[in-house]
Structure 1
């Protein structure tokens, strides 16, 4: 009888699990999906009979969209995680006999020094945003796929997040970041723009996303928290003068996916990090609820005729899978999923949901993953995994790192500290600018709560990426008596040097959240982990991508140099073919098991 695999084996098997993602669905029911079976996310076509055809094998992860009415795909790809997206064309008639490399793609928009983000597609044209004019501002461009001619629809500056064309193709609705913390604005360009084109107030502290045109192109559908605490589905006139609530929930944020012909919409209700999906008419009337097997995260892609949609679903115990949903009934039919070996599945943990009190009277939402079996060496030890952002959230999706830590024997806490989205406008505003250190204080509250779970407060560590990496460094430097170790992935060690060295197109929008170099330098220094290095005593494991355009490698190098100078145990792993995080499985398999072992070494019973 074979022996039970040890935790180290299970950790590697968890990190080797593959996942799926739906990018598009064509008129004949073929699904354009992403699959990371080759080591990073590559394109795969799933035919209606279930046949899978690998389409790409590029050096870095990619995504794509079908061109309507044509057997072609627009492929969006970068180099080594640098996020300087390029656009290429892949012919699917005939289907490739082997996955296409870069040399098999036809260049559409190529300028490796700048980013070009695909926004919308039509049979004869595509819309994309690009910062090639000055390296900072994102212009919106439409490219004729027959003649190659390009026309700039918008060049008024700012960071474009989403662009969607009207059904008559005369106008676009643009969603851009505003200079208010965690806020966005919507405006029109083209024939249907009214006045200066503004639809929402650029000075309003509000988030608007998922904009879509109504069937007659006379209004927009939005997910928005305009004049409200929680995001709702609203209809707004093109001049911004009328707001009509369609679907609301006074306790939860809503998400929106409108059908291309605006005949229906999927609305997701976010309940403690999991989405409950339902189909509504575009007047807000409930049509049906989606038959979901278990709570988790979800993304929706509609078919052009609105008869169905494909949904990417991930739950705490299941990697991302793709299913088709009948838009009339909500019945879900699985298309592709990843196989999880039985001995791995039995180690997977469903989290419990908690609210952790803070000294100032707040309550931090937190998911707790308890190991399914005790590992004596680390029993009672814990790891707090902090999400990035900060305008983001931890959800109840499948996280192989969280499950690997639990399989190793750690109790894992995954909090949504103040500043996290998904719990209303007030909560995500509680870390803005001069409130930054209040979110760090939440880490202390979580640590003080550990005995309530029967955990040893002397054997707790922090783990996080991006802003979560900042929180790891902030916690271990500002609360040195609380944390026994940390794993920092692409984290910020100094808010000053981060803002000075991050990509130019990102700087203004990071300053809106953290404070500006010109006006708030003292605050930035006070909130920077590197300011408190003389207090640091916790061993750190540091991971970074050499091509990171968001948090430069220098942030990791300066913290590693400081650790070395002080003789603090640490390890720095730098990956030359990665950007902001680890996109390639080979690198994750190199870094994460080593990081887990690092924590075992420093958190095990003495």
Structure 2
């Protein structure tokens, strides 16, 4: 069943133009490419690269599209231009901003120009640059430093709103940059560590909408008034995170409500009054990531939404504001969903200090054979939600009970929760794994047959569990994980070191604790077999993290295996590599958990 699950196509909405045409990321070829879907449902392939397309935007007032793509998962985005009016089926990819030594990330396209961020000035800081498509002239709009997580220009182009990463949980300061003078106003001036996720403008450029947990535990939608600098709460919810996007027409505000893994959508007035829900299938999520966030049409009459659930891979919906009609946009080649895909149950598990750890439990239809796999998400300030994960579905089909927790440090459950693992509290999140292990008999799991699985920070959690709790775990699968917080910070990309030190601790003053919390420094305690997957071009967690832990285990005679993919980065993006790596990881778990 696993190959069938891994081969299911997924879609992501990139953009919608004034005629209702969509730009869709689609991985039917095994590597995500950009396609255009006409209002009548006709599909047209726009790229056929050997590498993935990261993002794509229409250039308003033209039939041109700007595309961001990288090489081998290295995340060094390069920008190219497509002219959709040229004859032929596949338009020519014209280089626009290409320098493989640096990262370039597409922000948006305006009539005749493109905005992008780049770290080419000093490797560390990201500048905001406007490129004139007519003359090729590049104008720097912001070069004051930091990692720019979100950038949104005002409709009149007088201002650019910027979220600059800062604070231990990649929290953000919201800055207002005046494009003509470069003058910067700190919109937030936060006294506490605050998360800011999304920006959007009112159509007359008088107000900037900010989704933030400033002064609150939960994220709410605020309006910042440009003229007087005042901030007003528009939409709040004491129990849920809210994210808002103003429509270009100024008539509506789209609000996403995130609660215990599910994301629902509703239209509000721009004063905050709730008007009507947007009906999507129950039990899933509207996607909120920057690359897959909802998009308004230029006239505010349509929305394009990426949606997923545990029982169905990501696909796209069109929503018509006037009628409330929702139309699904699915892959052009039909793919049959395997039978038996499961929805999880939601639980709270008491941890060592009485904190309640949210966890989703996926049970095999047969009830399982007593084995379990705990799948830990990355981040750490990430969130395991009600989305499709072919690996979770595959593990359940194998007969394992699968637990997907949001351990402390996860987003989605309030500011207090995501701050509970900061720096010297790092190992408290590992103690949450022990609490989950202790709870397993309540759901019929044999505690001697439990494995850990995780990617990125989740990979760190796998290694930390095996190193700090060696008596609990029968095996581990580590995908692009961190073995040593010290060597990770020393060797990661320069810009990421600056951002990630705020979460993990600073090399120059927290080294003793970073060493203490590093699984590599407790490798002599690891007894459980380990399976490791890594991309050779990973710019976030270097391959050396995987190599050093596997070498240390081999020296001790502990069973371990390392798979390295030369054309991948921070995780596996290409289907051919997934079809090679993950069946081998599943076979490893079958052997270690006694299912051979």
Under a length normalisation based on structure 1, what TM-score does the superposition of the two structures give? Answer: 0.94
Deviation at 1:202, TM superposition (A): 5.6
Equivalences for residues 108-123 of structure 1 within 5 A:
108-123=96-111
Aligned partners of 1:159, 1:24: CA distance in 2, in Å? 24
More off after superposition, 350-359 vs 320-329: 320-329
Deviation at 1:271, TM superposition (A): 1.6
Aligned partners of 1:60, 1:194: CA distance in 2, in Å? 36
1:251 matched to 2:239? The reply is yes
The equivalent position to 1:323 in structure 2, one of 317, 320, 323, is 317
Equivalences for residues 471-486 of structure 1 within 5 A:
471-486=461-476
Deviation at 1:233, TM superposition (A): 0.8
Aligned partners of 1:273, 1:96: CA distance in 2, in Å? 44
Deviation at 1:424, TM superposition (A): 0.5
| Structure 2 partner of 1:23 | 14
SS at match of 2:185: coil
| Structure 2 partner of 1:207 | 195
User: Do the aligned residues in 2 keep the contact of 1:287 with 1:328 (CA within 8 Å)?
Assistant: no
User: Do the aligned residues in 2 keep the contact of 1:199 with 1:238 (CA within 8 Å)?
Assistant: no
1:491 matched to 2:481? The reply is yes
Deviations 1:28-72 (A, max 9, x none): 111100000111110011111111111111121112111111111
The equivalent position to 1:536 in structure 2, one of 526, 530, 538, is 526
User: Do the aligned residues in 1 keep the contact of 2:535 with 2:567 (CA within 8 Å)?
Assistant: yes
Deviation at 1:530, TM superposition (A): 0.5
User: Do the aligned residues in 2 keep the contact of 1:76 with 1:118 (CA within 8 Å)?
Assistant: yes
Deviation at 1:215, TM superposition (A): 2.3
| Structure 1 partner of 2:291 | none
Deviations 1:187-241 (A, max 9, x none): 1222588964211116531111211122221221011111111001111123784
| Structure 2 partner of 1:142 | 130
The equivalent position to 2:420 in structure 1, one of 426, 430, 433, is 430
| Structure 2 partner of 1:348 | 341
SS at match of 1:256: strand
Deviation at 1:581, TM superposition (A): 0.3
Aligned partners of 2:572, 2:226: CA distance in 1, in Å? 41
Aligned partners of 1:116, 1:302: CA distance in 2, in Å? 24
Q: CA 1:543–1:413 in 2, change beyond 3 Å: closer, same or farther?
A: same
| Structure 2 partner of 1:306 | 300
SS at match of 1:520: helix
SS at match of 2:186: coil
SS at match of 1:107: strand
Equivalences for residues 335-484 of structure 1 within 5 A:
335-337=329-331, 339-341=334-336, 344=338, 346-373=339-366, 379-484=369-474
Deviations 1:327-349 (A, max 9, x none): 2343311121574536x1x2211
Deviations 1:494-529 (A, max 9, x none): 000000000001101110000010000010011100
Q: Say what the alpha-carbon RMSD is for the aligned residues.
A: 1.6
Deviation at 1:96, TM superposition (A): 4.3
Aligned partners of 1:411, 1:85: CA distance in 2, in Å? 38
The equivalent position to 1:65 in structure 2, one of 33, 49, 57, is 57
Deviation at 1:434, TM superposition (A): 0.6
Unaligned 5+ runs, structure 1: 1-9
Deviation at 1:95, TM superposition (A): 6.1
| Structure 2 partner of 1:74 | 66
Deviation at 1:180, TM superposition (A): 4.1
Deviation at 1:326, TM superposition (A): 1.4
More off after superposition, 409-418 vs 139-148: 139-148
User: Do the aligned residues in 2 keep the contact of 1:382 with 1:461 (CA within 8 Å)?
Assistant: yes
Under a length normalisation based on structure 2, what TM-score does the superposition of the two structures give? Answer: 0.96
Deviations 1:301-352 (A, max 9, x none): 111100011111001101111110112343311121574536x1x2211100
Equivalences for residues 510-549 of structure 1 within 5 A:
510-549=500-539
User: Do the aligned residues in 2 keep the contact of 1:270 with 1:422 (CA within 8 Å)?
Assistant: yes
Q: CA 1:25–1:605 in 2, change beyond 3 Å: closer, same or farther?
A: closer
Deviations 1:421-465 (A, max 9, x none): 000000000000011000010000001110010100000000000
Q: CA 1:409–1:232 in 2, change beyond 3 Å: closer, same or farther?
A: same
SS at match of 1:250: coil
Deviations 1:269-291 (A, max 9, x none): 11211101101111112221001
Aligned partners of 1:232, 1:173: CA distance in 2, in Å? 17
Aligned partners of 1:584, 1:196: CA distance in 2, in Å? 41
Q: Report how many residues are paired.
A: 588
| Structure 2 partner of 1:4 | none
Aligned partners of 1:494, 1:597: CA distance in 2, in Å? 27
Deviation at 1:605, TM superposition (A): 5.6
| Structure 1 partner of 2:161 | 173
User: Do the aligned residues in 1 keep the contact of 2:168 with 2:504 (CA within 8 Å)?
Assistant: no
Aligned partners of 2:412, 2:233: CA distance in 1, in Å? 19
Unaligned 5+ runs, structure 2: 288-293
SS at match of 2:578: helix
Aligned partners of 2:276, 2:438: CA distance in 1, in Å? 44
User: Do the aligned residues in 2 keep the contact of 1:494 with 1:555 (CA within 8 Å)?
Assistant: yes
More off after superposition, 299-308 vs 322-331: 322-331
Deviations 1:249-278 (A, max 9, x none): 111111223323443221111121110110
The equivalent position to 1:45 in structure 2, one of 2, 15, 36, is 36
| Structure 2 partner of 1:3 | none
Deviations 1:579-601 (A, max 9, x none): 00000000001001110110010
Aligned partners of 2:32, 2:583: CA distance in 1, in Å? 21
Aligned partners of 2:168, 2:365: CA distance in 1, in Å? 44
1:36 matched to 2:27? The reply is yes
1:579 matched to 2:569? The reply is yes
More off after superposition, 237-246 vs 109-118: 237-246
Equivalences for residues 272-287 of structure 1 within 5 A:
272-287=260-275
Deviation at 1:11, TM superposition (A): 1.1
| Structure 2 partner of 1:164 | 152
SS at match of 1:320: strand
Q: CA 1:59–1:605 in 2, change beyond 3 Å: closer, same or farther?
A: closer
Q: CA 1:184–1:239 in 2, change beyond 3 Å: closer, same or farther?
A: farther
Q: CA 1:95–1:507 in 2, change beyond 3 Å: closer, same or farther?
A: farther
Aligned partners of 1:240, 1:404: CA distance in 2, in Å? 55
| Structure 2 partner of 1:5 | none
| Structure 1 partner of 2:79 | 87
User: Do the aligned residues in 1 keep the contact of 2:33 with 2:48 (CA within 8 Å)?
Assistant: yes
More off after superposition, 180-189 vs 274-283: 180-189
